[in-house]
Structure 1
Amino acid sequence: MQTQSMNFIVDIDNVGKRIDVFLAEMIENMSRSQIQKMVNDGNVTVNEKIVKNNYKLKEEDEIVLNLPEPVMLKVEPEDIPIDILYEDDDIVVVNKPQGMVVHPAPGNYSGTLVNALLYHCKNLSSINGVIRPGIVHRIDKDTSGVLVVAKNDISHRNLAEQIKEHTVNRIYLAITEGIIKEDYGTINRPIARHPVERKKMAIVEGGREAITHFNVLERFKENTYIQCKLETGRTHQIRVHMSSIGHPLVGDPVYGYKKQKYRLQGQALHATTLGFIHPTKKEYMEFTAAPPDYFIELIEKLRNQSK
């Protein structure tokens, strides 16, 4: 198999760093664990010698990282039931369940929404390639709710432009830890990849602009039921923003409390409303999906505890 290489020369500022830490900082789209596996597999050399992950860098070290050619992937249609809220020749709007990944990714090529959509409607836009056909925007695996998918490239470009211009109406329901005293508020804090934990996002100075508007729907004994309206749509935006003000989402395994009181399968977050201009009809359309059963049951439990 052919390989392509990435070469680095260590400068004085990086002397003494572990090689896995250095490479994870230098290569944006690769996690530290992926780097470590490549080192363990012998795909990384320093001065033409294979090293271990704990190798400490010296000035003028020449590092070579050999990247195998990406394997050509084929995403297979799968007969998976999906909740379709609307469909025509241009778009399909679905209510994604909690626990379903939106599109395939390394190590997870089946059981996704894309696999299900390919079985159901055959044609999806080609803009995002074989792995993410039709996917204009995403919601996390453990977030449920409304998602629009493009069935052709013209619709995809139009919807993507609306998202870029912040004209899509996106409303979420969430349950937070703690009691939020304000009835409403706006969180305007930039978000970027976490500088150390590369699979996480964080509030980072100089990151991408991120704005979340929230209002309180109901307060419980130790939790708050809120509605969030996204002005921007950054990865994990609501989860990061609410955690940043001391009110992470209940059940959030990444940004929430280490000890979870309720045994949820993920964060209590539901994309309840999605509104946009139809790409060809040019009419405003809005779709709403009620929260899933676990979410409603949790609210009832919190209400009963508050009595």
Structure 2
Amino acid sequence: MAEVRSLHVPDGLEGERVDSALSRLFGLSRSGAADIIAAGDVSLDGAEVATKSERLHAGAWLEVTLPPPPAPPAPVAEPVPGMGILFEDDDIVVVNKPVGVAAHPTTGWTGQTVLGGLLGAGHTIATSGASERQGIVHRLDANTTGAMAVAKSEIAYSRLKRAFKERRIDKRYQALVQGHPDPFRGTVDAPIDRHPSGDGRFAVVAGGKPSVTHYDTVEAFRAATLLDIDLETGRTHQIRVHMSAIRHPCVGDMAYGADPTLAERLGLKRQWLHAVRLGFEHPTKGEWVEFESPYPDDLARALQIVEAES
């Protein structure tokens, strides 16, 4: 069902193009915002907006009819090559997620998913949660590898979701970042929300969701530094955004400002970021469990090269 949203244009959007403003206000792509404007579904002070390049005035009454969201795709049950199992019992399965695999189906994603891979391999998954992400209690970016837990029983789903929400999970990542962060150990506390460009990226944005990343240097090399990272919150792209914000993007992460020359030299086609360890209280047994994931081949090779060059 279409949704009508009405608000006064905030002072911060004075002089902003309508398509850009809609993107920032409602998380739309610029092309999606342009389509809504072209359909006559945007008005300012009661007058229909004629073009996407029209400029806003602070305090004007903006009314937008947002189209209904597309139906989420169903998971495709098919085995995922290279997706190993780190642990499995009646309640949980912990996978070693390979590169290029999303956690669950989303609109616009046509590749393989962890959920589809588990179903395709015959694993039982909890039915709790939305149909396209049943059993999913946390996510890794498609091009971030490492340890990821999925609930098999309903009680495990409920308890793990609560544990993630209450930050009772030990999520450890390692990232190879450009340059040498100063200080070598620190915390990035900066709010994150969608990038104003509406291109799918995220950014440090005033008024965004609180986001806290702790990092510690494992080893410094000539061109890069290997960091151990502890997430206090779990925002989309959080490590990538925060490392870019302090001007030390993950090596290979061109979307967030990494040097393409360095990435090419190291043979990287994605960000050097890996979920090395995942620890939590077992949802039914009550004991603390931890799982570790070794570096995949592309990250291990890149690390060997920077070590050899130092």
* TM-score for both structures, normalised by structure 2: 0.85
Q: Secondary structure at the match of 1:254?
A: helix
Q: How much does 1:109 deviate?
A: 4.6
Structure 2: tracts of 5 or more residues without a match: none
- Superposition RMSD in Å: 2.8
Report matched runs for 1:1-307 at 5 Å: 3-8=1-6, 17-28=16-27, 30-40=28-38, 42=39, 44-46=41-43, 51-57=50-56, 63-68=63-68, 70-71=70-71, 73-81=73-81, 82-180=83-181, 182-183=183-184, 185-194=185-194, 196-198=196-198, 199-257=200-258, 259-263=260-264, 264-306=268-310
Instruction: Tell me which amino acid in the other structure corresponds to 1:141.
Output: A
Deviates more, 1:222-231 or 1:264-273: 222-231
Deviates more, 1:92-101 or 1:191-200: 191-200
- Structure 1 residues 8, 225: closer, same or farther in 2, change over 3 A? same
- Structure 1 residues 105, 222: closer, same or farther in 2, change over 3 A? same
Alpha-carbon distance between aligned partners in 1 of 2:192 and 2:208, rounded to the nearest angstrom: 5
Instruction: Tell me which amino acid in the other structure corresponds to 1:279.
Output: P
> Conserved in 2, the CA contact under 8 Å of 1:43 and 1:66?
no
Q: Secondary structure at the match of 1:163?
A: helix
Alpha-carbon distance between aligned partners in 1 of 2:223 and 2:9, rounded to the nearest angstrom: 51
> Conserved in 2, the CA contact under 8 Å of 1:172 and 1:227?
yes
- Structure 1 residues 39, 153: closer, same or farther in 2, change over 3 A? farther
Instruction: Tell me which amino acid in the other structure corresponds to 1:298.
Output: A
- Structure 1 residues 209, 291: closer, same or farther in 2, change over 3 A? same
Instruction: Tell me which amino acid in the other structure corresponds to 1:53.
Output: K
- Structure 1 residues 234, 72: closer, same or farther in 2, change over 3 A? closer
Q: How much does 1:164 deviate?
A: 2.2
Q: Secondary structure at the match of 1:33?
A: helix
> Conserved in 2, the CA contact under 8 Å of 1:135 and 1:149?
yes
Alpha-carbon distance between aligned partners in 2 of 1:97 and 1:17, rounded to the nearest angstrom: 41
Alpha-carbon distance between aligned partners in 1 of 2:231 and 2:10, rounded to the nearest angstrom: 43
- Structure 1 residues 280, 262: closer, same or farther in 2, change over 3 A? same
Deviates more, 1:238-247 or 1:82-91: 238-247
Alpha-carbon distance between aligned partners in 1 of 2:95 and 2:25, rounded to the nearest angstrom: 38
Q: How much does 1:221 deviate?
A: 1.2
What's the CA shift string for 1:19-61, capped at 9, x where partnerless?
2123223324x33332224445x26354685733223457867
What's the CA shift string for 1:91-111, capped at 9, x where partnerless?
110010122111111111551
Structure 1: tracts of 5 or more residues without a match: none
> Conserved in 2, the CA contact under 8 Å of 1:219 and 1:225?
yes
**Alignment size in residue pairs:** 301
Q: How much does 1:67 deviate?
A: 1.3
> Conserved in 1, the CA contact under 8 Å of 2:171 and 2:275?
yes
Deviates more, 1:247-256 or 1:137-146: 247-256
Q: Secondary structure at the match of 1:175?
A: strand
- Structure 1 residues 37, 211: closer, same or farther in 2, change over 3 A? same
Q: Secondary structure at the match of 2:254?
A: coil
- Structure 1 residues 286, 22: closer, same or farther in 2, change over 3 A? same
- Structure 1 residues 209, 49: closer, same or farther in 2, change over 3 A? closer
* TM-score for both structures, normalised by structure 1: 0.85
